[in-house]
Homo-oligomer: A and B are copies of this chain.
Amino acid sequence: MTAPRSLQTARQRRRKPRQERALATVSFVLDAAAQVFAERGYAATTNEIAARAGVSVGSLYQYFADKDALLVALAERHLAEAQASLQSVLEDAPTEPDQLVRRVIEAAVDLNRPSALHTVLYQAAPRTPELVEVLDRVRHDLAAAVAALLAEAGVDAPVADRRGHALVVAVDAAIHEHVLAATTPEDESARINDVVTLTTATLAAYTR
């Protein structure tokens, strides 16, 4: 938040690790970043992260353009998981659509269940374009799946795309800001039901 940092956050023009030790360094740094960000939020210091990783700041900046690049990398790591999980739910048993909706939503809730790191990613950190792009990627996949569902039901492709996006954005927010704010497990499952209802009702209306 201090040095040059051009508006378009310095592009990823950084060394790529080629040797084993370099890969290890990158991995140490990412682990340390996850820890320190989780503990101290976005105020975590790059020097602190480097220290925790057991390397010098210089090494950190050989592989990450700036502090925000660490968050982006962390988000990418987190979302690889998410994408895999959703993929498996989607491919798995399509069963009845209503059941599928519930399964996807429950999977999303589990993936996002409050972790300190998650909070930093979604709340505490400034949303740089790069970070937003990464966070959007999963939604994009889901939106495509929903659009396919709608198209199958006879909705025109462009309309299906548009509506798929609308629904996914809405449900995503409902999960992050409604379900995950639940106070008790019973409350949480009630809220999940709310979201499932919202989703199925909307799907029905969108195919009507």
Instruction: Report which A residues bind B (CB closer than 8 A).
Output: 1-2, 5, 7, 40-43, 123-128, 132, 159, 162-163, 165-167, 169-174, 177-178, 187, 190-191, 194-195, 197-198, 200-202, 204-206
Contact = CB atoms under 8 A, between A and B. Distances in A.
A40 B191 CA distance: 39
A137 to B, nearest CB: 14
B132 A127 contact: no
Contacts of A169: 173-174, 177-178
A173 B175 CA distance: 11
What number of copies of this chain does the assembly contain?
Answer: 2
A166, A191, A197 interface centre (most CB from chain B within 10 Å): A166
Nearest to A122: B127
Nearest to A127: B123
Nearest to A120: B126
A125 B1 CA distance: 12
Nearest to A179: B166
B190 A197 contact: no
Given A123-B132, A159-B190, A169-B174, 8 more contacts: A1-B1, A125-B126, A166-B174, A166-B191, A170-B170, A198-B205, A200-B205, A201-B205
Contacts of A125: 126
A125, A132, A174 interface centre (most CB from chain B within 10 Å): A174
A39 to B, nearest CB: 10
